[in-house]
Amino acid sequence: MYPLLVAYDQKISELESQNKVFTEKIEYLDTNLKTVIKENEELHEKLKNNINHAMKKIESDVEGGFTMPKHEWKELQERMELLDKENKILQQEQQELQRELNGRIRDDKVSNDPCKYIFQHFALKAYFVN
C-alpha cells in the first residue's frame, strides 16, 4: 500500500504545481485585462472629446458661414463634374453589356454563365484596344 500512497503524493504535488502555474497566469492576465480596460476607457473618453470638439467646430462653421477659397471650390466642382461624366459613361457601358448579354443568351451563343461572357467581352475589348 505504501507505493500507492507515494504515487498519490506525487500526483498531488504535480497538480499543486500546475495549480500554482495557472494561478500565476490568471493573475498576469487579470493585470493585463485591467490595463487594457483602463486604456480602453481613456481612449473612449478621448474619442468622445474629439467628437464633441468636431461637432462644435461644425456648428460654428454652419453658424458663421462655411468659407472655402474660390480655387478649391472650383476644383471640387470640376472633380464632381468629371466624376458625374465618368459615372454616366460607366452606366451606359453597363446597359450596353446587359443588352448584349441578354441577346447572346437568347440566341444560345453563350452558356447561361454571364461571367464567362463578360470575361470574353473584356478580353476582346482589351485585345482590340492594345
Residue-range domain boundaries for the chain: 1-67, 69-130
Residues 52-65, mean pLDDT to the nearest whole number: 73
Residues 82-102, mean pLDDT to the nearest whole number: 84
Say if CB 120 and CB 104 are below 8 A apart: no
Cβ–Cβ contacts within 10 Å for residue 16, how many?
10
pLDDT bracket for residue 42 (50, 70, 90)? very high
Burial-class residue 101 by CB neighbours within 10 Å (0-12, 13-18, 19+): middle
Confidence at residue 106, expressed as pLDDT on a 0 to 100 scale: 65
**With pLDDT > 90 as the criterion, what percentage of the chain qualifies?**
22
Q: Which of 118, 81, 84, 124 is nearest to 102 (CA)?
A: 118
For the entire predicted model, the pTM comes to 0.40
Find all residues with CB under 8 Å of 100, minimum gap 6, and list them. Answer: 121
Residues 75-94, mean pLDDT to the nearest whole number: 88
